[in-house]
Structure 1
């Protein structure tokens, strides 16, 4: 699946649950036509983990513990392979 289609699926799920978010990473540059390569998408939110997981429950994603320095996130949700 195209990288932009993948993140669009997640964003639509967040919007369905009225979850505010911000996009970043090389995926954002890709969506703006500033690069041809996508390393990752960064989607940040202040919403609870429970609500985020609920919003994407039908997707191929899972929450993993995180928090490596220098990042402040407590978990990440990578696409399952």
Structure 2
């Protein structure tokens, strides 16, 4: 985060352009349906922050969140969602 902040300041851009909002959650198991509420909450928070940034920058596209495992998926199981319900 600090490297992104320093670099963004150096080239005079909004840090968010190179370091988007994210959250990390643990205890998620899709097969056992554990942690889904925590994931939905994280998606809601990131979408809200992203929408606020979109509003600030005049971006009219709908924000989205990329959901992926932190290790071991090799790109499989990566999802793009536009709401916590997804």
Is TM more than 0.5 here?
Answer: no
Query: Could you say which structure has the larger radius of gyration?
Result: 2
TM-score normalised by length of structure 1: 0.29
Higher strand content, 1 or 2: 1
TM-score normalised by length of structure 2: 0.27
Higher helix content, 1 or 2: 2
